Amino acid sequence: MKFNLKIWRQKNAQAAGKMVDYTIDNINADMSFLEMMDVLNEELIRKGEEPVAFDHDCREGICGMCSMHINGRPHGPLRGTTTCQLYMRNFTDGETIYIEPFRANAFPIIRDLVVDRSAFDRIMQVGGFVSVNTGQVQDANNIPVVKADADLAMDAASCIGCGACVAACKNASASLFVGAKISQYALLPQGRIEAKERVLAMVNQMDEEGFGSCTNTGACEAECPKGISLSNIARMNREYYSASIS
């Protein structure tokens, strides 16, 4: 397979970036998108050119590092898929593919396709913990949890923090990410002890980081590779309002 690639190149955060054209041939249809990028970088290195910088780690759809804006969509054209789970057979031979970094003021570009998503880490740090001294692991029946609540908490905890929700949102809102991280604690009895302090701290930190406001367009849920539900944003809002007036 042969592809025409238009890739955003930017030397550093201060430099001006631009789209650069590349042509790549002899790509196996069963290669992942990141493997295709590896092949491109090997060719650039052989030519004495700078390889394209991009984030990657597990390449198994777990870590959330492989964040690219592909043909106008975070992680590419398939729903419920991270960039590393996207295969070249999902594109047409000879197709032109546009590859850009996630765009948000709170995600400043470091280089090429790599953005700084440490804002998510700071949001987690201000409230994403449980300070209860649990000691040894208790028997599961000692703290009964309603099955429906446990399932919802697990669904929220599946968020990998990739930032696709921010990249998809017209306001660059992080509400889906923060809502998921708040929900995974708020739904369980272990997380209720510090629930008020947690939601206030995390929402306030989200605002300080410069993320936009949520207007419930649903683009975040549609582009989330883990299918995190908008209901988590509603839960975050209820928790926040309740904590604010009590």
pLDDT mean values, one per 10 residues, the chain (246 residues): 98 94 96 97 97 95 94 96 96 97 96 97 87 65 84 96 97 97 92 92 97 95 96 97 91
pLDDT at position 138? 66
pLDDT at position 189? 87
State the Cα angle at 171 between 174 and 15, rounded to 5°: 90
pLDDT at position 246? 76
Distance CA 147, CA 142 (A): 14
pLDDT at position 130? 66
pTM of the model: 0.92
Task: List the domains of the chain with CATH numbers.
Answer: 3-111 (3.10.20.30), 117-245 (1.10.1060.10)
pLDDT at position 143? 76
Distance CA 108, CA 115 (A): 6
Cβ proximity of 169 and 220 under 8 Å = yes
pLDDT at position 133? 65
Instruction: Using the structure block, give the residue that is written with the tokens 């491109």.
Output: 40
State the Cα angle at 225 between 219 and 227, rounded to 5°: 70
